Amino acid sequence: MNEKTKNYSDLIDEIPYDSNIETDIPVLGEPTVDSPLLEKHYPHFVSDCDRVLVNVSCRSERKLNKAGLEPMSFELAGPRRSIFFDPAKVKPAIVTCGGLCPGINDVIRAIVLTFYHSYGVHSTIGIKYGFRGLVPSYSLPVMELTPEKVGRIHEYGGTILGSSRGPQSLEKIVDALQRLDISMLFLIGGDGTFRAGAKIADEIERRALKISVVAVPKTIDNDIYLVSKTFGFDTAVDMACQAIRCAHTEAIGAPNCIGLVKVMGRHSGFIAAAAANALREVNFCLIPESDFDLEGRGGLLKVLEKRLKKRGHAVVIVAEGAGQKYVAGKNMEKDPSGNIKLGDIGLFLRDSFSNYFSEIGMTVFVRYIDPSYIVRSVPANIEDSLYCANLGQDAVHAAMAGKTAMMVSRWNDRYVHVPIASVIRQSKRVNLDSRFWLSVLESTGQSSLKNT
Same domain, 390 and 272: no
pLDDT of residue 5: 40
Whole-angstrom CA distances from 334 to 267, 330, 427, 437 are 15, 12, 19, 30
The single-letter DSSP state of residue 215 is E
CATH number of the domain residue 239 falls in: 3.40.50.460
Q: Indicate yes or no: pTM above 0.75.
A: yes
CA-based torsion, 258, 263, 266, 271: positive or negative: negative
For residues 108, 113, 119 and 120, what is the CA-based torsion angle, rounded to 10 degrees? 120
Is residue 8 pLDDT above 50, yes or no?
Answer: no
Tell whether 360 is covered by a domain: yes
Let me know whether 220 and 329 are in one domain: no
Asked whether residue 14 carries a pLDDT value surpassing 60, the answer given is no
Give the pLDDT mean for 224-246: 94
**Beta strands 82-83; 73-76: pairing state:** unpaired
Query: Does residue 175 carry a catalytic annotation?
Result: no
Q: Looking at the structure, tell me whether residues 103 and 201 fall in a common domain.
A: yes
DSSP 32-85: -EEPGGGTTT------TT-EEES--SHHHHHHHHHHT-PPPEEEEPS--SEESS
Task: Give me the mean pLDDT over the 414-428 stretch.
Answer: 95
pLDDT higher than 80, residue 331: no
The confidence score (pLDDT) of residue 67 equals 66
Q: Which pLDDT value is given to residue 375? A: 87
Residue 13 has pLDDT above 60, yes or no: no
Distance of alpha carbon 37 from alpha carbon 80, whole angstroms: 9
Find out whether 165 and 98 touch, Cβ atoms under 8 Å: yes
Q: Is the pLDDT of residue 65 over 80?
A: no
* Domain co-membership, 372 together with 388: no
Q: Are residues 22 and 116 in the same domain?
A: yes
Tell me what the mean pLDDT of segment 196-208 comes to: 97
Max CA-CA distance within the chain? 78
The amino acid sitting at 77 is A
Clarify whether residues 397 and 286 are in a common domain: no
| pLDDT of amino acid 18 | 47
pLDDT digits 0-9 by tens, 279-305: 999 999 999 999 999 999 999 999 999
**Which member of 10, 191, 221, 234 is catalytic?**
221
In this structure, what CATH number is given to the domain that contains residue 72?
3.40.50.450
Summarize pLDDT for 142-201 with one digit per residue, the tens.
999 999 999 999 999 999 999 998 889 999 999 999 999 999 999 999 999 999 999 999
Check pLDDT > 90 for residue 330.
no
pLDDT > 50? residue 380 = yes
> Which H or E run contains 187?
strand 184-189
SS3 114: helix
CA–CA distance, 393 with 397 (Å, rounded to integer): 7
Give the count of domains, the chain: 2
Look at residue 6 in the predicted model and tell me its pLDDT.
45
Query: Are β-strands 82-83 and 33-34 bridged in parallel, bridged antiparallel, or unpaired?
Result: antiparallel
**What is the pLDDT averaged over residues 353-365?**
97
407 has a pLDDT exceeding 90:
yes
Q: Which helix (H) or strand (E) holds 115?
A: helix 104-119
The residues, ordered by sequence, that sit 6+ positions from 63 with a Cβ below 8 Å of its Cβ are 17, 18
Q: What is the mean pLDDT of residues 64-92?
A: 89
Range of the domain at 304: 233-377+434-444
The stretch 322-335 carries a mean pLDDT of 81
Domain membership flag for residue 429: no
